[in-house]
Amino acid sequence: MAGTDGKAGPGRGPLLLGVRHHGPGSARAVQAALAAARPRVVLIEGPPEADALVPLAAHEDMRPPVALLAHAVDEPGRSAFWPFAEFSPEWVALRWAVDHGVPVRFFDLPAAHTLALREHEEEAEHGTDGGQGETTGRPAGAGPEPEPGAKAEPGAKAEPEPEAEAEPGAMPSAAGTRPAVRTDPLAVLAGAAGYDDPERWWEDVVEHRGAGEDPLAPFSALEEAMGALRETEGTEGAKGPEPHGEPGAADEHGRDLVREAYMRLQVRSAQREFPEGVAVVCGAWHVPALRRKSTVAADRALLKGLPKIKVDLTWVPWTNRRLSRSSGYGAGIDSPGWYGHVFGAADRPVERWLTKVAGLLREEDRIVSSAHVIEAVRLAETLAVMRGRPLPGLSETTDAVRAVMCEGSDVPLALVHDRLVVGDVLGEVPEEAPAVPLQRDLTRIQRRLRLKPEALERELELDLRKETDAERGRLLHRLRLLGIGWGEPAASRTGTGTFRETWRLRWEPELSVRVAEAGVWGTTVLGAATAKAEADAVAAQHLAEVTALAERCLLAELPDALPVVMRVLADRAALDADVGHLAQALPALVRSLRYGDVRGTDTGALAEVAAGLAERVFVGLPPACAALDADGAEEMRRHVDAVNGAVGLLADAADAPADAAHAPADAAHAPADAAHAPADAAHAPADAAHAPASAPGPASASGSAPDAGSVPAPGPASVSAPDPASGPGDLRARWRRVLRVLSVRGTVPGVIRGRSVRLLLDDGELPADEAARLMGLALSPGTPPADAAAWIEGFVGGGSGGGMLLVHDERLLGLVDAWLTGVPAEAFTDVLPLLRRTFSAYEPGVRRTLGELVRRGPGARGGTAAGGTGLPGFAPEPDTARADAVEPVVRLLLGLPAREGASGRPGPAGSRTGGRTRQDTDDNDLAGVRV
Amino acid sequence: MPVSVEPTSVDPSQNGSAPVPTEADTQTSADAQESPEALRPHAENAFADELAALAAQDDRPRPARWKLSPWAVATYLLGGTLPDGTVITPKYVGPRRIVEVAVTTLATDRALLLLGVPGTAKTWVSEHLAAAVSGDSTLLVQGTAGTPEEAIRYGWNYAQLLAHGPSRDALVPSPVMRAMAEGMTARVEELTRIPADVQDTLITILSEKTLPIPELGQEVQAVRGFNLIATANDRDRGVNDLSSALRRRFNTVVLPLPASAEAEVDIVSRRVDQIGRSLDLPAAPDGIDEIRRVVTVFRELRDGVTTDGRTKLKSPSGTLSTAEAISVVTGGLALAAHFGDGVLRSGDVAAGILGAVVRDPAADRVIWQEYLETVVRERDGWKDFYRACREVSA
């Protein structure tokens, strides 16, 4: 068959070198064959558009692994990669040709067609199997396929499947799918040879075989095998698609025919030009097809009417990790580092490899002596003999390393795999290479959004309710994720609404470099940001980093990155034993949840993770609260507060109506208070939410929420008597159970116990007299004064509105008063600082009122139980007539519909979205005031 | 120079003075005529047919004094069908790679260390390896906290010693010494339980392949074919950790826990069945679901991830080995048989699981509750189990 132009006669046909893509053995064989045959033109499987880029391969700044990247000019997200490693036969051929001044031509189907074909198929198939749809001729065997398996390797050589792929994100449809069962010709060959693993068979038969006498012999043997295979495959291929019901399989077969037709035409024309001395390097699978005689007309007919789009090609740097299968869109090589070693090692590859491994382990401070290396080599060789392999392969050396150097542990072995078997090699591309598509995509978006990159710093106000502004915001957030700091978020000058963003923009020249660097992540801003966010999530060290990343993903609207981030988040949360960390992460997460909600992002996964996180906090909190010192207790109290707020929001976010019902119910507890509410709100709006609930009164109220946007609410009953149903209410109910546990457990510090009681009381979960009982318990003489003071701090301390609570519930005030007067003189100085801290945080008005109440003495407190107060300046009963007068104004302010009987006109914002309405009610619980 | 040690010089009746593991010695004298009444026959007797068939058809090269070729040894352990149709039952169900590395190690002159958590068939594998390689699995030293140096080197028959002075006749060889002299495979069980100074007597044996007898001015040199299989418990790491000098003499193979849930369910139900029969417990009709549940819980907590691979979990401090799952189920069966209606139910295994999982009352309890609340509660069809666990954990 293959003739060298020296020996074999001209016209005997081209020298066909069938290879396994990325096979080091193939690469060596190709090198030997080319050196022996000295062809005058080399045809390499790859997109012909790349012919112009060939000279760059010889550039001194060009270092493999690199990839040819083809992308549609007007849609950079549609792209395909042809990676080349140092040990790829195609690369070897390329370099050989360039070094010897022999012209090189890529002769696969042009990328213009393959990319267009892909589009075609996607439309037809809804992108369900992008995995195969694409096409690209698999030149180097490989496109970055998102589908990790793709059996790429064997397939790669035999390549019945196409692989090039778009980068993830840009083609989400492709990313998730993996080609269904696909016939694997090499597996058939390997099976015939008695191997269960086709990889190993290929390694043994081809890759690990030493250089034979005749450099061309292996190729002819391979061609024969492939020819036989294709015969059987051909028959199977016909019925192939049906069993799988997969349209792709048929298409693929068809595309192979088209590609081969094109290749044949190219080979033919090359032969006309260089009648003797055409060498062809392509996947072994194609060799028989190229050998086959076929008429030009038939081939042309196959190529007729192929769709076509405008494409651009360039070289991009690649990494070993991306070549490897595990990275998600590699070339299907498990062990690029090992292959590189096998290809590069002058002799004794096993010894050299194990020495390398020993060196790595030593660097990591493992004790590995030369004796270990010797033993490992012996074990590897004996294993190879026992397994009947000609030479120890990667699996033998790995077994030897595990047993001898790693003491059977897989942990150091993972390091070896990561650093050596895969390897950290990063390719380089000369600056002269055409611009990466990411830059083009960015330019396009900038033009569309009318955001010019300017060196001058300027501020940009975005109103996210407008489509363009929202997109701008997303773009800036995505760029920030990619480390392209064009815009920095700034504090807004005009407002603090969640729909507003302020950015400080400034385009520095070096940002172009950053864009080029970010090109590794993808070809579009969206795709690159998604890939980067996913990588960041996996690399993140702390839980808080991941939550922050989740927030940024929402801001940048990267829905495809969210699942990965959420997974990592869930994993981290599961393994984090510090309740503090979890409690810290929860509010941020819930915040993102609400924020995502505002922007209409799907946050289902987020809500699930948040709920899981809350669950873990619930379980871990009680034990974590035991035996804390004062500082620890204070910190834990803050966590309790944070979790309480987060649980409330979480339940709200998951179930909007519950929220609407919640606030009014609180207020409804004490209708008597309604009259005071405006006054309270005036001097301490923050207190408003708590104050009404605190007043003793009917434990429940009737009626449903008057909120316009709400669906029939569970009703106030669910607040006063929570039923442990499922759903968010369930979450809240379980949180209350945790609080109950905290409130009565003796080992829990006073400040947390007090706080728990207070939160339960505010929630209407704890009847006021039960709270009073607990307070009495905490303040009883048996409790050390310091602990009791801490309890008071927790119960009514700080800016939590505790002052109003004491003002309204004189029984509680009486308890505090009685306890305080009972504190022995010597202990008083100890508790004084704490008490001072507790009470000094109150509003002056509250303090004064308290003071007056206390001065008036216990006599005046007789009839307070019913909710009437003897407060100076307040009537004992609310004046409903005066309250009614205020109500319309309040409703107007809050955008609530007028009450029945009133004007009947819908509120100004009656048609707002649920999110907005909810926000309003949160901002001001007065919404629930019922008069 | 090599001195052959006659097995006849070992007299079990004179063994009292030296706390040499009597097991090994009595076995030695007994192995020729092992009675069919033995509660548990040795591997080489129990599977004598298979070994003979393998030896008959094994045409591959055998290392010196090996009864079988390495390839045949691997087949013996992993099972297979010989050309003449003889079926070799699998002795070890697990990755082929592990057995291959183990056998290959023995074929070189490196010693083999089998590591693994309790219940991963370390001893079982070592016994069968020795039986297949040397045809004798009885040259055994059981490692304990009180294992003396004599158990590894040699002891003295003091009556002889006093009567005739130091001589080879007064010497009581250890199983290791015999293995060296005869080119056999010696076994050391629970190596890491042995005090460090005693462990280190192995260094000379493994590196120089010789055992000096300074009292006589002699030595025993290992003949070709000698090797040593040690087993050690993963969880004992740090108790009497191997010195790095000793560690270096071993190739380490870690025996993993069963890879798939189905395999483990199978192992558990089979063992439970056997044990149940020996305890005369009535067979549980629908126990398999509960067994599957126990295995699932154990696997999930042990692996730190749920079966569907979607949720990570903290792992408790206990081993949660297959053996423990077996004992939980057996305990549950006993409960069901004696106090329940004979059907294995969630309530019967809940307490056992709690006991197995919560070893450290503080940390493990949190882990267990987290697991209950985040995983078990949500799972379809696990309501009764959740309730039962809540009940016992409260």
Tell me the pLDDT tens digit for each residue of A3-23. 333 333 334 578 888 887 777
Cα angle value B161/B162/B163 (rounded, 5°)? 95
**Which chain A positions have a beta carbon within 8 Å of B107's beta carbon?**
382, 386
Task: In whole angstroms, give the CA distance from residue B245 to residue B386.
Answer: 50
Pairwise CB contact (< 8 Å): A574 & B107: no
- For A353, the domain range is 345-423
Task: Give residue B85's domain range.
Answer: 7-254
Contact A148, A286 (CB under 8 A): no
The answer to whether the Cβ–Cβ distance between B101 and A399 falls below 8 Å is yes
| More confident call, B130 vs A429 | B130
Residues A254, A209 share a domain: yes
Does residue B318 lie in a domain region? yes
Is A141 inside a domain boundary?
Answer: yes
B305 CA: distance to closest CA in chain A (Å): 9
Same domain, A314 and A366: no
Place A907 in a pLDDT band, splitting at 50, 70 and 90. very low
Q: Are residues B240 and B266 in the same domain?
A: no
Per residue in A354-397, pLDDT (tens digit) is: 999 999 999 888 888 898 999 999 999 998 888 887 788 888 89
Asked if A173 and A281 sit in the same domain, the reply is yes
Cα A910 to Cα A168, A913, A918: the distances in Å are: 42, 9, 12
Angstrom distances, CA of residue A298 to CA of A258, A272, A489: 11, 19, 61
Which pair of tokens denotes residue B126? 């070592």
- Nearest by CB to A403, which of B74, B253, B373? B253
Which of B113, B248, B311 lies at the smallest CB-CB distance from A574?
A: B311
Q: What is the pLDDT of residues A862-901, one digit of tens each?
A: 444 434 444 445 566 777 888 888 888 888 888 877 765 5
Residues 6+ apart with CB under 8 A from B4: B181, B182
pLDDT at A598: 52
pLDDT for the residue A320: 78
Could you list the beta-strand ranges (E) of A628-748: none
In chain A, which residue's Cα lies nearest the Cα of B116? A408
Inter-chain contact A369–B71, Cβ cutoff 8 Å?
no
Contact at CB, A619 and B370, closer than 8 angstroms: yes
Q: Look at residue B72 in the predicted model and tell me its pLDDT.
A: 92
Q: Which of A332-336, A537-541, A696-700, B86-90: highest mean pLDDT?
A: B86-90
Mean pLDDT of chain A: 70
How far out from the chain centre does Cα A148 lie?
18
Mean of pLDDT values over B123-135 = 92
**Chain A residues closer than 8 Å to B252 by CB:** 402-404, 406-409
Interface test with A, best of B97, B104, B252 (most A CBs within 10 A): B104
Q: Is residue A876 part of a domain?
A: no
**ipTM for the whole predicted complex goes beyond 0.85:** no
Lowest model confidence (mean pLDDT) among A405-409, A645-649, A689-693: A689-693
b/e map A239-256, b = 16+ CB within 10 Å: ebbeeeebbbbebbbebb
In this structure, the answer to whether residues A322 and A365 fall within a common structural domain is: no
Structure confidence at residue A248 as a pLDDT band (50, 70, 90): very low
For B369, nearest residue in chain A (alpha carbons): A619
- Give the count of Cβ contacts less than 8 A between chain A and B: 89
Give me the DSSP letters along B285-338. SSHHHHHHHHHHHHHHHHHTB-TTS--B-PPPSS---HHHHHHHHHHHHHHHHH
Residue B244 sits in a domain whose CATH number is 3.40.50.300
Q: Using beta carbons and an 8 Å cutoff, which residues of A are at the interface with B?
A: 367, 369, 371-372, 375, 378-379, 382-383, 386-387, 395, 399-400, 402-404, 406-410, 567, 570-571, 574-575, 577, 612, 615-616, 618-620, 623
Q: Which domain-ending residue is among B205, B233, B254?
A: B254
- Flag whether pLDDT at A174 surpasses 70: no
Does residue B384 belong to any structural domain of this protein? yes
Q: How far apart are CA A446 and CA A455, in angstroms?
A: 15
Domain's final residue, options B239, B254, B269? B254
Q: Please state, in angstroms and rounded to a whole number, the distance separating the CA atoms of residues A753 and A757.
A: 6
pLDDT in tens, A680-700: 333 433 333 343 333 333 333
Q: For B220-234, write each residue's pLDDT tens digit.
A: 999 999 999 999 987
> Helix (H, G, I), strand (E, B), or coil: what is residue B386?
helix
CA neighbor of A171 nearest in space, from A70, A78, A73:
A78
Q: Are residues A319 and A350 in the same domain?
A: no
Looking at the fold, whether A362 and A230 belong to one and the same domain comes out as no
Residue B2 forms part of a structural domain: no
pLDDT at A600: 57
Same domain assignment for residues A285 and A361:
no
A258 and A204 within one domain: yes
B223: number of Cβ within 10 Å = 17
Confidence grade of residue B286 (pLDDT, cut at 50, 70, 90): low
Residues A279 and A368 in one domain: no
* Inter-chain touch B251–A409, beta carbons under 8 Å: no
Q: Is residue A203 part of a domain?
A: yes
Q: Are residues A81 and A210 in the same domain?
A: yes
Residue, of A299 and B182, whose pLDDT is higher: B182
Whether residues B77 and B164 fall in one domain: yes
Top residue of A367, A406, A407, A546 to mutate, by most chain B CBs within 10 Å, is A407
Identify the domain boundary among B254, B280, B301: B254
Mutating which of A367, A399, A401 best tests the B interface, going by the most B Cβ atoms within 10 A? Answer: A399
Domain assignment present for B136: yes
What residue in B sits closest to A611 (Cα-Cα)?
Answer: B374
Strand partners of residue B201: none
Pair type for strands B227-233 and B185-189? parallel
Are residues A304 and A204 part of one domain?
Answer: yes
CA–CA min distance B254, chain A (Å)? 5
Do both A358 and A267 map to the same domain? no
B48 lies in the same domain as B179: yes
A889 CB neighbour count, 10 Å cutoff: 10
Overall domain count for chain A: 2
Q: Please state which of the ranges A296-310, A702-716, B86-100 shows the lowest mean pLDDT.
A: A702-716
Which amino acid, one-letter code, is at A210? G
How far does the CA of residue B184 sit from the closest CA of chain A (Å)? 20
pLDDT tens-digit series, residues A575-608: 777 777 788 778 777 877 776 655 555 667 677 7
In a domain, A471, yes or no: no
To the question of pTM greater than 0.80 for the whole model, the response is no
Cβ contacts (< 8 Å) between B74 and chain A: which residues? 386
Q: What's CA A621's distance to the chain center, in Å?
A: 28
Structural domain contains residue B34: yes
CA distance B137 to chain A (A): 23
pLDDT interval class at A569 (50, 70, 90):
confident
